[in-house]
């Protein structure tokens, strides 16, 4: 077999198949492999005319089809399957070859795999790919980690197949060493959870408080999509809301079971945030909200738990309320991105990745699920001040929240008094108020900890670590 393929893809389910087609459509010769050979043949049968494919059935033939250094993309089910594929292919590779894992791996697994393969001289490139099957085919946002050297060889190809932002820039950059790419993809998904939950809360308020129909709410989202909330998720929300179920003639959203599923990256984002001590309350509430929705057993309580029923507003009031909800959604969105970027900064610091936060925002402008006009603003904020401690330290974001906050508070107050759950709206506002507060009740917490566990505390008026003899005469001792 002649080694003419510039890239190979193993794992040809929906993502791998579309990624392979994307490479081929961009002029690369693509070697194909899948555990079950039928998928490989199906691809060639249906899409073989889109470019140059080399279909292979054995691992040996697949590797032999690749020009050196070999670039081998793995798009299999994340977890054990990835380890199985690496175990199968790594012995056939040589120093300088690259294994690119485009699955949704946990970054800790990526760090382990990278370390193990580095010993063999193989570059392991853990790569976040966002955009679902449509993105994989027409241009995803791509977040590769791994060595700089691997990016030199791989980068130009990824730039070619990636989405392009409105200014034409490719939505890919070398994120950083080892697991940095998968880590950033994980936080991307966490932010996506928050975005979706906030949109859901806005929808529920417009439905239950403003009294709008699904079609009317779709119209409101369409209007919002022409302003500062312009984003893929707002756009598809309008489409989903205006879709009518063919079987019943009802709005589609009213016939779908209200239990949201999740695959794990949102949960990981929260778990890692807890490990690193990063407050990502908006993202966490979004993950918990899906979890609550799925607990049909707990939600049996809807039959007997008392509380107010939301009051529907009149037409003029409803329109004014919708404007307020837009302000609340925007303010909460800024806070959830602030939290997500904090988590990326913390990971970068912990693992010494040197991630360029502004660049991360810029490669999310196209291809990925959270693509939005708003991301340009985040890039500008970090370009102006790379060491920005938080997005809320950026003057223009702080000013926008200042302008939105009366409505933000009012919407959440309405939700609370009318019994409409808005966990992510409320958590992001509480985070904002926590950052604003001159004194937090943490001083009391420290007192309690010192009381029951002699955990000590620091004082505002002098240096040192202190303990009060609570069980005795309450004198203070320096420890
Ligand atoms: N779907 C999305 O929107 C999306 C977006 C971004 C990233 N991803 C990630 O991309 C990857 C691929 O996703 P997907 O939805 O296309 O497929 P998937 O359903 O996650 O995985 C199916 C693929 O994995 C292969 N596979 C499973 N176990 C294997 C094993 N032990 N050894 C070798 N191959 C094995 C299957 O081969 P057989 O055909 O032989 O069963 C098939 O090619 C996943 O890691 C996913 O998390 C998905």
Whether the upstream peptide bond of residue 69 has omega within 30° of 0, thus cis, is yes
User: Whose Cα sits closest to atom 1 in ligand 1?
Assistant: 132
Mean pLDDT within 75-85? 97
Distance 204 CA to ligand 1 centre (A): 34
Choice from 18, 38, 76 to test ligand 1 binding pocket (greatest atom count within 8 A of CB): 76
3-state SS record for 131-167: CHHHHHHHCCEEEECCCHHHHHHHHHHHHHHCCECCC
Distance 12 CA to ligand 1 centre (A): 7
User: Whose Cα sits closest to atom 29 in ligand 1?
Assistant: 81
Q: Give the pLDDT of residue 3.
A: 76
Q: Give the pLDDT of residue 302.
A: 83
pLDDT in tens, 232-270: 999 999 999 999 999 999 999 999 999 998 888 999 999
User: Whose Cα sits closest to atom 37 in ligand 1?
Assistant: 35
Specify the higher pLDDT residue, 373 or 80. 80
Atom nearest to 263 CA in ligand 1: 47
pLDDT in tens, 441-469: 999 999 999 999 999 999 999 999 999 99
Q: Give the pLDDT of residue 404.
A: 98
Give one word for 250, left, alpha or beta, with left for phi > 0 and alpha for psi -120 to 50: beta
Burial status of residue 183 (CB atoms within 10 A of its CB: 0-12, 13-18, 19 or more): buried
pLDDT in tens, 150-199: 999 999 999 999 999 999 999 999 999 999 999 999 999 999 999 999 99
User: Whose Cα sits closest to atom 11 in ligand 1?
Assistant: 103
Distance CA 183, CA 272 (A): 10
pLDDT in tens, 428-437: 999 999 999 9
Distance 74 CA to ligand 1 centre (A): 9
Q: Give the pLDDT of residue 303.
A: 83
Confidence of residue 1 (pLDDT cuts 50, 70, 90): low
Q: Contact, 236 vs 242, CB < 8 A?
A: no
- Write the CA distances from 365 to 197, 374, 375, integer angstroms: 20, 9, 6
* From 114, 192, 201, 326, the catalytic residue: 192
Atom nearest to 102 CA in ligand 1: 10
192 is catalytic: yes
Q: Give the pLDDT of residue 15.
A: 97
Q: Give the pLDDT of residue 147.
A: 97
pLDDT in tens, 293-351: 999 999 988 888 999 988 889 889 999 999 999 999 999 999 999 999 999 999 999 99
Mean pLDDT within 279-301? 95
Choice from 12, 13, 87, 101 to test ligand 1 binding pocket (greatest atom count within 8 A of CB): 13
Distance 357 CA to ligand 1 centre (A): 29
Q: Give the pLDDT of residue 262.
A: 83
Confidence of residue 371 (pLDDT cuts 50, 70, 90): very high
Pocket of ligand 1 (CB under 6 A): 11-16, 34-36, 39, 75-78, 81, 84-85, 103-104, 129, 132-133
Q: Give the pLDDT of residue 263.
A: 83
pLDDT in tens, 101-151: 999 999 999 999 999 999 999 999 999 999 999 999 999 999 999 999 999
Mean pLDDT within 26-34? 98
By C-alpha distance, which of 460, 174, 184, 150 is closest to 348? 184
User: Whose Cα sits closest to atom 45 in ligand 1?
Assistant: 103
Mean pLDDT within 14-25? 98
* From 57, 134, 149, 185, the catalytic residue: 185
Place of tokens 């790569």: 127
The pLDDT mean for the chain works out to: 96
Distance CA 14, CA 187 (A): 23
Atom nearest to 76 CA in ligand 1: 24
Q: What is the pTM of this model?
A: 0.96
215 is catalytic: no
Mean pLDDT within 286-291? 97
Distance 133 CA to ligand 1 centre (A): 12
Strand 476-478, strand 466-468: pairing = antiparallel
User: Whose Cα sits closest to atom 34 in ligand 1?
Assistant: 35
Q: Give the pLDDT of residue 249.
A: 98
Q: Give the pLDDT of residue 373.
A: 87
User: Whose Cα sits closest to atom 25 in ligand 1?
Assistant: 76
Give the torsion sign (CA, 243, 249, 251, 257). Answer: negative
By C-alpha distance, which of 335, 146, 167, 110 is closest to 158? 146
Determine how many CB atoms are found less than 10 A away from the CB of residue 140.
30
């Amino acid at each position: 077999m002649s080694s003419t393929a510039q890239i190979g893809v193993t794992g040809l389910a929906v993502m791998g198949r579309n990624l392979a087609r994307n490479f081929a459509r961009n002029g690369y010769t693509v070697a194909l492999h899948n555990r079950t050979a039928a998928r490989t043949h199906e691809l060639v049968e249906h899409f073989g005319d889109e470019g140059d494919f080399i279909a292979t059935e054995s691992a040996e033939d697949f590797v032999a089809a690749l020009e050196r250094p070999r670039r081998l993309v793995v798009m299999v089910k994340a977890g054990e399957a990835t380890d199985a594929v690496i175990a199968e292919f790594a012995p056939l590779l040589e120093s300088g070859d690259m294994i690119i894992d485009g699955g949704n791996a946990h970054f800790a697994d990526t760090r382990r795999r990278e370390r193990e393969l580095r010993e063999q001289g193989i570059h392991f490139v853990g790569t976040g790919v966002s955009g679902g099957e449509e993105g994989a085919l027409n241009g995803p946002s791509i977040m590769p980690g791994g060595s700089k050297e691997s990016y030199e060889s791989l980068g130009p190809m990824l730039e070619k197949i990636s989405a392009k932002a409105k200014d034409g820039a490719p939505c890919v950059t070398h994120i950083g060493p080892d697991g940095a790419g998968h880590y950033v993809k994980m936080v991307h998904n966490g932010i996506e959870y928050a975005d979706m939950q906030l949109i859901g809360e806005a929808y529920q308020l417009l439905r239950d408080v403003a009294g709008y129909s699904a079609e009317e709410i779709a119209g409101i989202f369409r209007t919002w999509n022409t302003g500062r909330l312009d984003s893929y998720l707002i756009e598809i929300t309008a489409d989903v809301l205006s879709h009518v179920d063919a079987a019943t003639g009802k709005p589609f959203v009213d016939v779908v079971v209200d239990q949201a599923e999740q695959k794990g990256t949102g949960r990981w984002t929260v778990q890692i945030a807890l490990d690193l001590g990063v407050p990502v309350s908006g993202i966490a509430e979004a993950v918990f909200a899906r979890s609550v929705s799925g607990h049909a057993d707990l939600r049996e309580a809807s039959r007997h738990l008392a509380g107010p029923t939301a009051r529907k507003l009149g037409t003029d009031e409803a329109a004014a309320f919708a404007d307020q909800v837009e302000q609340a959604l925007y303010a909460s969105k800024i806070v959830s991105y602030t939290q997500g970027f904090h988590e990326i900064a913390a990971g970068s610091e912990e693992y010494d990745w040197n991630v360029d936060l502004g660049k991360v925002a810029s490669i999310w402008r196209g291809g990925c699920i959270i693509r939005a006009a708003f991301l340009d603003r985040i890039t500008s904020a970090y370009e102006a001040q790379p060491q920005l401690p938080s997005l809320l330290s950026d003057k223009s974001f702080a000013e926008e929240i200042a302008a939105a906050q009366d409505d933000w508070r009012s919407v959440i107050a309405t939700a609370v008094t009318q019994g409409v759950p808005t966990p992510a709206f409320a958590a992001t506002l509480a985070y904002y108020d926590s950052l604003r507060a001159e004194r937090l009740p943490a001083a009391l917490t420290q007192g309690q900890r010192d009381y029951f566990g002699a955990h000590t505390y620091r004082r505002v008026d002098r240096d040192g670590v202190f303990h009060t003899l609570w069980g005795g005469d309450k004198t203070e001792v320096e420890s």
